[in-house]
Amino acid sequence: MNQHIRSEIIHKQHHISIMGLMDAPEDQQCFLAAIQQRDGVEELHITVFEAKFLPAMVIEALKAHVNQYSNIPLKLFILHRHLSLYLSRLGLQNRLVFEKSLLPATSQQIRAVAIGGSAESLDKIFLIVKSLPLADISVFIVQHFPKDARNILDTLLLDKTRYRTVIPQDGTTIETNAIYIAPSDFHLKVEHGVIRLTKEAPVNYSRPSIDVLFESLSQEYKQGLLAILLCGYGSDGSHSLKTLAAHGARILIEDPLDCSARDMPQNALKTGYYHYKFPIQELAHYVSRIIRKEEMVFDHQEIMEFLNLLHKRYGYDYQEYSVESIKRRLQKMMLDRGFSQFEHFSSHVLQDSELFEELFLEFSINVTHFFRNPEVFYAIREKILPYLDTYPHIKIWCAGCSTGEEPYSLAMLLDEADLLKKSQIYATDINPFVIAEAKNGLYSMEPLDIDQQNYQASGGAKHFLDYFDQTFDILKIKPFLREKILFFQHSLVNSGILNEFQLILCRNVLIYFNQTLQKKTLRLFAESLDRRSFLILGESEALPVLEKECMFEEFDPLHKIFRKRKFVPPEQRISGL
């Protein structure tokens, strides 16, 4: 072992600690040697301390262990939020070690709390109810229970809460400061402030059903509902989450690692319709805080002063981003990290570089797929590639490339047009973590159906999977595509011209800028394009009239494809700013 990789076996548990950044080949090889020590090991614990990203070789080794040595369960502990999310997307279950307490605040007052649980959930319900502050809310609980046994949860909760605990009758009027517990063998619904008990058929093999309760409460309370799904077997509770999300309810899932009966939270997480996943202690703390709601107040001038100080302190300039977008992300960040007053929050961010890093990630928007909006890629294939073929060397810039799906999609297009060999793609993003992901070229197979459909709709001539090597349930971009793309960090706000390109894609980035920054960025693009070359924007973006008249002309308005005019007036160039 070396100073960055520590390994020891204690009571048949193999503990590996990753202390360094994992960017040195010798550290990676040391880790690979450590993870292969399996003699006498019954459980593998890996903790990642300093590393904020893991290289493909390490991730593939983790996947190999999970898939080939299921008799030695892996418990993975991560201290960096982005790494935790990245590994989760690749199907590597992990626990984020979250050090700071949560102090949530929400734009919508919580009026009702719904708790659903099955096997192993009783103690979790006790903990949540015990931590609930007395407030003007109504609480509803469905716990799976044998149909021939009387539910006595109301009695068990008496000494744990100041709320009234009630096993309701059909027609009971709902009041605040009360906890309503579904009786055995009855579905519990709410209609216009009244409880309805029904003997309708079991849902998900359950009566009472969590899905039935959640669906009913989402109609009744909409954004005023906080829904909590705890551990248990089966999938009850998962099917209603899409409806809850559509009505604006806040959805919390217990971390499956807290449970032996993991089916319910795992199935819920797979839907993607949830806001937070917490271990039970943090979940209870979160609920307590959100009920003790404190109103967040954002003063425009305070925000602008804060953004100016951020620029001076850390070098990132958000002063010309949309203020409403900034407010939404500040609110979420304050919610996650335990602040109700902006003054306290801004002071901590300016002093704590790790807290700023989390805010930076919150400001970065990363939502994408391969061949996203396939009709745009079809237009590139049919209308733009023939023009690019007239050049001896093709240079393309993907600005705001996120985790790499867009530049890799372009590389596939170029390959099928026999243009890849003479092409170079520059792929940039302000977020260094997504750039690292893109360089890794590893992707989950979960969205494969969507990606394949997009590829086919774009006019793909081969099989989408031909461009990947498969490692268990991870897809890895083939080297001949990776070597044609140069990924690096770049800011559209305060960086200059990169090169002279024949095509620039900047999709769904400008919508987060104010008009001044939009115009400045468009001038940057105009000076970065070769004569009569192309700019492609996102489906919800448009050129300001001034820029359309002076720098670009519409080439394909439907797909937001613009072409640089032959002459750009000097006053519209970057140098004229």
The structure's pTM equals: 0.62
Contact criterion met (CB below 8 Å) for 211 and 229: no
Query: Is 211 assigned a catalytic role?
Result: no
- CATH class of the structural domain 112-291: alpha beta
Predicted confidence (pLDDT) at residue 577 exceeds the cutoff of 50:
no
Domains 112-291 and 374-574 share a fold: yes
Lowest-pLDDT range, 161-175, 340-354, 391-405? Answer: 340-354
Q: Please report the pLDDT score of residue 107 as a whole number.
A: 43
Query: Is 118 assigned a catalytic role?
Result: yes
Predicted confidence (pLDDT) at residue 576 exceeds the cutoff of 50:
no
How many angstroms separate the CA atoms of 450 and 233, rounded? 29
State the pLDDT confidence band at 331, using cuts at 50, 70 and 90: confident
* CA distance readout (Å), 565 to 206, 504, 550, 562: 65, 15, 8, 9
Among the options 84, 118, 138, 364, which is catalytic? 118
How many angstroms separate the CA atoms of 192 and 134, rounded? 23
Q: Can you identify the CATH homologous superfamily of domain 374-574?
A: Vaccinia Virus protein VP39 (3.40.50.150)
Q: Please report the pLDDT score of residue 533 as a whole number.
A: 96
User: Rounded mean pLDDT of 485-494?
Assistant: 90
State the pLDDT confidence band at 50, using cuts at 50, 70 and 90: confident
Among the options 80, 82, 144, 187, which is catalytic? 144
Among the options 80, 82, 121, 236, which is catalytic? 236
214 burial type by CB count under 10 A (0-12 exposed, 13-18 middle, 19+ buried): buried
Predicted confidence (pLDDT) at residue 284 exceeds the cutoff of 60:
yes
How many angstroms separate the CA atoms of 399 and 506, rounded? 5
Max Cα-Cα span within the chain = 83
User: Rounded mean pLDDT of 312-324?
Assistant: 84
So where are the chain's domains? Answer: 5-96, 112-291, 300-363, 374-574
Q: Please report the pLDDT score of residue 468 as a whole number.
A: 98
User: pLDDT tens digits, residue range 142-181?
Assistant: 999 887 777 788 888 988 898 999 999 999 999 999 999 9
Lowest-pLDDT range, 97-101, 170-174, 232-236, 555-559? Answer: 97-101
| Closest to 372 measured CA to CA, from 511, 535, 508, 556 | 508
* DSSP symbols for 244-307: HHHTT-EEEEE-GGG-SS-HHHHHHHHH---SEEE-HHHHHHHHHHHHS-------HHHHHHHH
Q: Can you identify the CATH homologous superfamily of domain 5-96?
A: STAS domain (3.30.750.24)
Predicted confidence (pLDDT) at residue 371 exceeds the cutoff of 50:
yes
* Residue with tokens 């517990």, as numbered in its chain: 181
How many angstroms separate the CA atoms of 430 and 5, rounded? 30
Could you give the count of Cα atoms lying within 13 Å of 489 in the half-sphere of its Cβ? 9
Q: Which residues contact 564 (CB under 8 A, 6 or more apart)?
A: 526, 529, 530, 531, 532, 533, 534, 535, 551, 552
Q: Which residues contact 451 (CB under 8 A, 6 or more apart)?
A: 369, 370, 371, 464
How many angstroms separate the CA atoms of 44 and 41, rounded? 7
Query: Is 80 assigned a catalytic role?
Result: no
Secondary structure (3-state) at 239? coil
More confident call, 27 vs 21: 27
How high does pLDDT run on average in the chain?
Answer: 88
